[in-house]
Chains A and B, each alone.
Chain A
Amino acid sequence: MQELLSAAAAALNAPESLVSRSAAARAKATGSSVEDVLRAWTGGAAPPAATAPTPEPAAPEPAPAAEPAAPAASAAAGAAGPIDWAALAASQGMPEKLLRRSVEAKAKKSGQSVEAVVAEMTGQPVPTTGAAPAPTEPAAPVAPAAPEPAPAVVGAGPAVDVYEPAGPASEPAAGRAGDAAGEIRSDGIPRWLAAVFVIVPAFAVMYALFLPNGPSCGDAGRLAVDPVTGVAVNCDGSEYGVEVVDFFAVGQEVYAQCSSCHGANGGGGGNFPAFVDGALLTVFPEGACENHVEWVRVGTAGWPDPTYGANAKPVGGSGAVMPGFGSAISEEELRAVVLYERVRFGGLALDATLADCGLAEEPEPAG
């Protein structure tokens, strides 16, 4: 049995484990014994006629192209006579020129004559050695040069699911020179195609089941629609693509330029006014952010009136000079630093002050 297996593996040019598995499957399918199957596959041990005693009663579809036996039954161009390149090319399914080059290269490499290589290819006894009809390396050297992809041949062999059909399947075809090489006579559909039949529709069904109404908001570029304006918005209803800027943090950063005079904690110093303890709101009370912004923008030098603020403080009255920051920092930074002062030192609510200083929309009225 082991001997038979090795012989079959050698004949099929396939690993023993695969051959043994395939043979078992084949035997089960045809109702014959594993030995019979292996014997048929070795070819050398059993002449082509030996396949007859193991017909395939259970197999509804005949698969002659897949039968690895019978290279001897065929006769291509006589190895002794001149080589019929055209017929050979047709049988091998490759352009004549390419075939010729490939055969010559092989001959040169292996040191054999061109005729011997051709004979080996067509499955005939190699004239010089007179070897058994089970060549150890059937068409293997030629196969890689073949223009068509080997997997296309898989369809022929429902019995042996290894890559090997490319070998034996092409041999009988090679014998019947010019005949329909590699016909698909079997009803078997190649495994990869059968897989396509299952996997692709399954994917389609899954897609339809799991995404019947498309991706939810936030996936695959889908956005929500604002019910009032009708425009595309973020899933939480905010405007798409608008980053929320933390103006308070921006203001804190900018305030570093003010702290030298007004103190890091708004306590003032010397002639410079303090902000804390309601001092700031006395000058610029709640709702007067615009005045405050304007004061920081132009400073004492640019202020048009003699007094400023709600309590009519005289401009420059304390003897200190407030520089105008309008050209030193951006408008946004200007408003942010005013916001920071009013919230941090004046104790005002952030949301209302953001709106007051023009950094956010007017907050929705409560309720």
Chain B
Amino acid sequence: MTSTDSATHRGAEAEAAAGTETAAAGPPLAVAPALFAVGLAGMLLVAVKLVVPGFLDGSAALSYGRLFPLAANLVLWGWLAVGAMGAAFFFVPRIAGTPLRLPGAARVAPLLVAGGAIAGVAAVAAGGNAGGRLLELPWWADAVVIPGLLAAAASITATLRAADRPPVSGWYFGAASWWMVLGAVTGAVVPLFGGLHASLVGWFAVTVLTLGLAASGIGAAYALVERLEPEARFHPRLGQIGFWSLVVAWAWTAPRVFQYGPTPDWLETVPVAFSLVLVVAVTTIAADLSFALRGRWDRVVRSLPLTLTVLGVATLALVPLQMVVQNLRTAGVVVHFTAWEAALESLTLFGPVTLLLMAVTVHAAESGRRPWGTGRRRLLLLYPLGLGAVLVSRWMAGLQQGYTWVGGVNSRAYPNSGVGFRNSVTPLEAVDWVQVAGLAVMLIGAVVLAAGARAPGGASAMTDEAAAAPPATRFAVVLQGVVLMFAVALAGVVVVPIAEAGDEPSLLAERSRDLASEADAGREVYLREGCWYCHTQQVRAAVTDVGLGAVSLPGDFVFDPADLLGVQRIGPDLAHVAARWAELPGSSYLADPRGAGGRPWSTMPAYGHLSDRDLENLSAYLASLE
């Protein structure tokens, strides 16, 4: 904490001395890396739990279903959102050529976001999961985080508007700040919906949030190159093409999690087409940056921030490729619901944006001081190595799992449920260990970053980067386009599908309406303990799902109070688990899945720490899933 205090102090001093604009950037850039290291450590524990199911058993707050949202949200909000804010406060004044406007708002913003996020994840760990993947923070935490995002967006926008026609890096920072607000607000209303509708809104919200984060990262990449290589010239049009194709395409990829799912068929075609457009966007951005750096690769290798920038942009190119494979149906039917989804989540949390924010953090820590020493640089560069191992392990696990499912059904040997699920679980141990090793290596880099993070020092003279022929579009126009495209995507992938699905209950939905009070309470336990991180409750009309019972319809979820569809099958689908549930010894199975009468191969955490009443209720809920 001393480093933070002194950083704040130094930042304030610099502001007082030179009236500079870096004061607001100091605290977030110094604090966010620490939250990153903590979140990553949590993710490491989660990964260990996949291979050693009994690891840290018996503690409610450290069970998989609570630790995962805790760690993921800490990385998402505490590191990515706060770090992106710091990057924006650091670069936007330089881009605009004017001190940061609304400095008070800029100072409060990271406090609100980090504070709200920390309190929120603590609440999730204590059993306050609000549902919705990556949107689990309770409503009161949202009520703290969103004003923080709004304050940052206001300050960034006011500063950029002062420049009137900022370069493309300014577009990214400005648009990103509003995407964060729009995504968070959309995410906060998820609990107002239920079932499939909640799922549609929730995925859209998360997609817009990740768009905001990615845009911050890309803005930082442009700004870093502009600042560290002042003579590098960006193409006058490529930057704009990249920006607008990103704006148009990204939000439309949200329905990718519904392939063959209980949504209209056309909604499943949408993410295929738009993830292809995203390939154009990312290729253009990568090309623009690599043309600007052409002939300077020696300097890129020598400069740690530039190395991380190039790695970040290269990793960014993986995102649309990953999405395309998942979306194209022939491939999607194999990898959907598998660890392939976890690879995309790893890319979101630990991939391009993290690498680019690392670049900003290092740049800020080096500015006005001596550059980092070789030893520290080498340790930090372990991070991308570990990330590579994690990604490869998730892709391998996804393919392994998917092909086992298809193979099991096609050989008529077993359905992918009950004992049949074992075949897709046990072979994953090796790649799951690779993931653990990768995360451990990444953690070294994250700890080095957190230890070396400092508020930007020195006089921080403002260079005249804004003089470099900005595009002729006014910032207000850019912002209007961004909001318009958000609205169009919201209509296309949320409003219209919800209207089309309607709320006509299916016959199956009745089962979840008149639940006995025990089963109803059990559903609360199911949500609270995060069972839905590992179990889906949707059966698709696809090969992998043969033998899992009736195919899910939109109307099946009408009476569900929250989104319980799920996106990954670390455990088997539970949509019709009641038939299989009869084979198991009820709540004693939940308390100790590998115990007597259970399944020795199961990777499910033991829930012995739950009260008997909770176990009975959960058991009653599962028995109701006919």
Report yes or no: A95 in contact with B542, Cβ–Cβ below 8 A.
no
Report yes or no: A200 in contact with B277, Cβ–Cβ below 8 A.
yes
Given A193-B284, A205-B273, A207-B276, A232 contacting B295 (CB threshold 8 A) = no
Q: How far is the CB of A168 from chain B (nearest CB, A)?
A: 14
Q: How far is the CA of A201 from the CA of B545 in the complex (A)?
A: 32
Q: How far is the CB of B358 from chain A (nearest CB, A)?
A: 23
Name the B residues within 8 Å of A230 (CB-CB): 508, 549-551, 553
B451 at the A interface (CB under 8 A): no
Report yes or no: A180 in contact with B298, Cβ–Cβ below 8 A.
no
Q: How far is the CB of A64 from chain B (nearest CB, A)?
A: 12
Name the B residues within 8 Å of A53 (CB-CB): none
Question: Digit string of B533-571 for contact with A (CB within 8 Å is 1, else 0)?
Answer: 000000111111110011101000000000000000000
Name the A residues within 8 Å of B232 (CB-CB): 180
A155 at the B interface (CB under 8 A): yes
- Stretch in B148-156, B406-414, B491-499 with 4+ CB within 8 Å of A: B406-414
Report yes or no: B330 in contact with A220, Cβ–Cβ below 8 A.
yes
Q: How far is the CA of A193 from the CA of B235 in the complex (A)?
A: 13
Given A221-B330, A221-B333, A208 contacting B550 (CB threshold 8 A) = no
Question: Digit string of A163-181 for contact with B (CB within 8 Å is 1, else 0)?
Answer: 0000000100100000111
Q: B545's closest neighbor in chain A, by CB?
A: A232
Report yes or no: A214 in contact with B233, Cβ–Cβ below 8 A.
no
Report yes or no: A231 in contact with B551, Cβ–Cβ below 8 A.
yes
Report yes or no: B272 in contact with A204, Cβ–Cβ below 8 A.
yes
Name the B residues within 8 Å of A200 (CB-CB): 276-277, 279-280
A196 at the B interface (CB under 8 A): yes
A94 at the B interface (CB under 8 A): yes
Q: B546's closest neighbor in chain A, by CB?
A: A240
Report yes or no: A223 in contact with B291, Cβ–Cβ below 8 A.
no
Q: How far is the CB of A94 from chain B (nearest CB, A)?
A: 6
B581 at the A interface (CB under 8 A): no
Q: How far is the CA of A276 from the CA of B276 in the complex (A)?
A: 70
Report yes or no: A93 in contact with B296, Cβ–Cβ below 8 A.
yes
Report yes or no: B237 in contact with A187, Cβ–Cβ below 8 A.
yes
Among A94, A153, A231, which residue has its beta carbon within 8 angstroms of that of B297?
Answer: A94
Report yes or no: B298 in contact with A96, Cβ–Cβ below 8 A.
yes
- Stretch in B38-46, B262-270, B366-374, B523-531 with 4+ CB within 8 Å of A: B262-270
Report yes or no: A184 in contact with B541, Cβ–Cβ below 8 A.
no
Q: How far is the CA of A96 from the CA of B545 in the complex (A)?
A: 58
Q: How far is the CA of A95 from the CA of B296 in the complex (A)?
A: 9
Name A198-241 residues within 8 Å CB distance of B: 200-201, 203-205, 207-208, 211-215, 219-225, 229-232, 240-241
Among B269, B329, B541, which residue has its beta carbon within 8 angstroms of that of A224?
Answer: B541
Name the A residues within 8 Å of B276 (CB-CB): 200-201, 203-204, 207
Among B233, B284, B290, B333, which residue has its beta carbon within 8 angstroms of that of A152?
Answer: B290
Name B223-247 residues within 8 Å CB distance of A: 231-238, 241
Q: How far is the CA of A310 from the CA of B499 in the complex (A)?
A: 66
B283 at the A interface (CB under 8 A): yes
Name the A residues within 8 Å of B283 (CB-CB): 193, 196
Report yes or no: B269 in contact with A232, Cβ–Cβ below 8 A.
no
Report yes or no: B280 in contact with A184, Cβ–Cβ below 8 A.
no
Report yes or no: B546 in contact with A95, Cβ–Cβ below 8 A.
no
Q: How far is the CA of A355 from the CA of B139 in the complex (A)?
A: 61
A267 at the B interface (CB under 8 A): no
Question: Digit string of B294-306 for contact with A (CB within 8 Å is 1, else 0)?
Answer: 1111110100000
Report yes or no: A212 in contact with B292, Cβ–Cβ below 8 A.
no
Given A95-B301, A204-B277, A205-B273, A189 contacting B238 (CB threshold 8 A) = yes
B173 at the A interface (CB under 8 A): no
Q: A86's closest neighbor in chain B, by CB?
A: B298
B325 at the A interface (CB under 8 A): no
Number of interface residues of B (CB under 8 A): 57
Name the A residues within 8 Å of B589 (CB-CB): none
Report yes or no: B297 in contact with A243, Cβ–Cβ below 8 A.
no
Report yes or no: A180 in contact with B295, Cβ–Cβ below 8 A.
yes
Q: How far is the CA of A339 from the CA of B542 in the complex (A)?
A: 35
Report yes or no: A179 in contact with B292, Cβ–Cβ below 8 A.
no
**A170, A179, A203: residue with the most chain B Cβ atoms closer than 10 Å:** A203
Q: How far is the CA of A184 from the CA of B234 in the complex (A)?
A: 7
Q: How far is the CA of A223 from the CA of B406 in the complex (A)?
A: 13
Report yes or no: A95 in contact with B544, Cβ–Cβ below 8 A.
no
A48 at the B interface (CB under 8 A): no
Report yes or no: A183 in contact with B233, Cβ–Cβ below 8 A.
yes
Name A54-89 residues within 8 Å CB distance of B: 89
Report yes or no: A232 in contact with B294, Cβ–Cβ below 8 A.
no
Given A200-B279, A204-B277, A207-B276, A148 contacting B294 (CB threshold 8 A) = yes
Among B274, B298, B409, which residue has its beta carbon within 8 angstroms of that of A204?
Answer: B274
Given A204-B273, A204-B274, A221-B406, A190 contacting B294 (CB threshold 8 A) = no
Report yes or no: A147 in contact with B297, Cβ–Cβ below 8 A.
yes
B621 at the A interface (CB under 8 A): no
B61 at the A interface (CB under 8 A): no
Q: How far is the CA of A234 from the CA of B272 in the complex (A)?
A: 25
Question: Digit string of B572-610 for contact with A (CB within 8 Å is 1, else 0)?
Answer: 000000000000000000000000000000000000000
Given A214-B269, A243-B412, A89 contacting B298 (CB threshold 8 A) = yes
B350 at the A interface (CB under 8 A): no
Name the B residues within 8 Å of A107 (CB-CB): none
B532 at the A interface (CB under 8 A): no
**A185, A220, A225: residue with the most chain B Cβ atoms closer than 10 Å:** A220
Name the A residues within 8 Å of B297 (CB-CB): 93-95, 147-148
Name the A residues within 8 Å of B266 (CB-CB): 212-213
Name the A residues within 8 Å of B406 (CB-CB): 221
Name the B residues within 8 Å of A93 (CB-CB): 294-298
Among B273, B287, B410, B542, which residue has its beta carbon within 8 angstroms of that of A222?
Answer: B542
Q: How far is the CA of A197 from the CA of B236 in the complex (A)?
A: 16
Report yes or no: B409 in contact with A241, Cβ–Cβ below 8 A.
yes
Q: How far is the CB of A352 from chain B (nearest CB, A)?
A: 27
Q: How far is the CB of A95 from chain B (nearest CB, A)?
A: 4
Report yes or no: A184 in contact with B296, Cβ–Cβ below 8 A.
no
Q: How far is the CA of A15 from the CA of B254 in the complex (A)?
A: 50
Name the A residues within 8 Å of B541 (CB-CB): 222-225, 232
Report yes or no: B551 in contact with A184, Cβ–Cβ below 8 A.
no
Given pairs A155-B235, A201-B277, 16 additional interface contacts (CB within 8 A): A95-B297, A180-B232, A180-B295, A183-B231, A196-B280, A196-B283, A201-B276, A203-B276, A208-B270, A208-B273, A213-B265, A214-B265, A221-B542, A223-B542, A231-B549, A232-B541
A residues adjacent to B (C-beta < 8 A): 89-96, 147-148, 152-153, 155, 170, 173, 179-185, 187, 189-190, 193, 196-197, 200-201, 203-205, 207-208, 211-215, 219-225, 229-232, 240-243
- Which 7 residue pairs are nearest across A and B when measured between Cβ atoms? A181-B295, A230-B550, A221-B333, A93-B295, A220-B329, A204-B276, A213-B265
List 23 A-B pairs, Cβ < 8 Å: A95-B301, A147-B297, A148-B295, A152-B294, A179-B231, A180-B233, A182-B295, A184-B292, A189-B238, A196-B283, A197-B241, A200-B276, A212-B266, A213-B265, A214-B265, A221-B260, A221-B329, A221-B543, A222-B541, A223-B546, A225-B541, A230-B553, A231-B546
